[in-house]
Amino acid sequence: MSQIQVSAVSKAFHSTTAPPRQVLDGVSFSIAEGEVVGLLGPSGCGKSTLLNIIAGLDAEHSGSVSIQGRPMQEQLGAGFRVAYVFQESRLLPWYTVQQNLEFVLRAGDFPRAEWGERIANVLSAVGLSEFRDFYPRQLSGGMQQRASIARAFCIDPDILLMDEPFSALDELTARKLRESLLALWARFRTTIVFVSHNAFESAFLADRILVMGQGRITREIDMGGTPRPRSYDDTALFEASKNVIQILERHAHPSHANPSHS
Ligand code: ADP
């Protein structure tokens, strides 16, 4: 059975001052357990809205989303664990790195005897062992985002949802964090759904890229043939991202791509 099944999801935003705005239009796909899937598309095409619907944070839509055959809210009640990483780290500023991780372990009712090992493992994987007693304001943006990734993995989530997790970082920092993320994925085999507008990032991280345009999935690109661990020098990744950029360009300028339809 798929881990995540999205079936015919449509969503419109309603307002009293403007006509309804159709943001998602019959989106369907499934994601297998342990798969890394990227939702890629230009700004405003509905990626974050779709991620929120998968997370169960937005129930006002048609169609359905099921997680191992049940609604997300039911799964969460049965102990299913979902973690999030956003563009900004969202660390609690009055807690140290360690205390931020303890906070989610306490909220998730993890036995206190496990906390030390869980925290040590994930902090070492993201290279923050020496910074466990630092407050977020004492860390660079990249280090804060490392802490946010460590916080996500310390609960050993069933699903990790990430919304543009690296887009606020400079490219060199983002590269290191993507590698840390994939190292953690290789250890935990968490199902990951991430949102990105960066074609190369999507190719580097994903098993499968779902290309979105104006509320629809327009193409699926299988990256499963690209070996892991991934290397930034792998020419297959450049080829794939070039291909994806061409698809995005055709969405943005359909008449340029096919003059006979202009
Ligand atoms: P993306 O993540 O691809 O940039 P979003 O899912 O954030 O796109 O937004 C898709 C569209 O829905 C955008 O045009 C955005 O302005 C609109 N939108 C998002 N949230 C709301 C909201 N709460 N009310 C009205 N429109 C919204």
The per-residue pLDDT for 34 is 96
23 lines ligand 1 (CB under 6 A): yes
Report the pLDDT value the prediction gives residue 112, as an integer from 0 to 100. 97
Return the ligand 1 atom nearest residue 21 CA: 26
Minimum-distance ligand 1 atom for the alpha carbon of 195: 2
Mean pLDDT, residues 23-41? 96
What tokens appear for 240 in the block? 């794939």
Please give the average per-residue pLDDT across 215-233, as a whole number: 92
Length of the chain: 262
Q: Report pLDDT for 216.
A: 95
- The pTM of this model reads 0.94
Average pLDDT rounded to a whole number, residues 23-48: 96
- Number of the ligand 1 atom closest to the C-alpha atom of 52: 6
Classify domain 4-80+158-256 by CATH architecture: 3-Layer(aba) Sandwich (3.40)
Q: What value does the mean pLDDT of the chain take?
A: 93
Q: What angle (nearest 5°) sits at the alpha carbon of residue 237, between those of residues 198 and 7?
A: 60
pLDDT, tens digit, 9 for 90 and up, residues 117-148: 999 999 999 999 999 999 999 999 999 999 99
- Residue 226 identity: T
What pLDDT shows up at residue 261? Answer: 45
Taking 50 as the threshold, does the pLDDT of residue 40 lie above it? yes
Alpha helices for the chain (secondary structure H): 47-55, 72-77, 97-107, 112-125, 141-154, 171-188, 199-205, 235-252, 254-257
CB 49 near ligand 1, within 6 Å = yes
- Of the pLDDT bands very low, low, confident and very high (cuts 50, 70, 90), residue 199 is very high
Nearest atom in ligand 1 to the alpha carbon of residue 164 is 2
Least confident range from 14-18, 41-45, 53-57, 257-261: namely: 257-261
Q: How confident is the model at residue 251, as a pLDDT?
A: 80
Look at residue 1 and tell me whether its pLDDT is greater than 70: no
Q: Is the pLDDT of residue 262 over 50?
A: no
Q: How many CB atoms lie within 10 A of CB 111?
A: 7
Decide: 232 in ligand 1 pocket, CB within 6 A. no
Does the CB atom of residue 54 touch ligand 1 within 6 A?
A: no
Instruction: Please work out whether the CB of residue 215 comes within 6 Å of at least one atom of ligand 1.
Output: no
Is the per-residue pLDDT at 253 higher than 90? Answer: no
Q: How far apart are CA 122 and CA 117, in angstroms?
A: 9
> What are the sequence ranges of the domains in the chain?
4-80+158-256, 92-155
pLDDT in tens, 79-119: 899 999 999 999 999 999 999 999 999 999 999 999 999 99
CB count within 10 Å of CB 39 equals 27
Residue of 10, 13, 196 to test ligand 1 pocket, by largest number of atoms within 8 Å of CB: 13
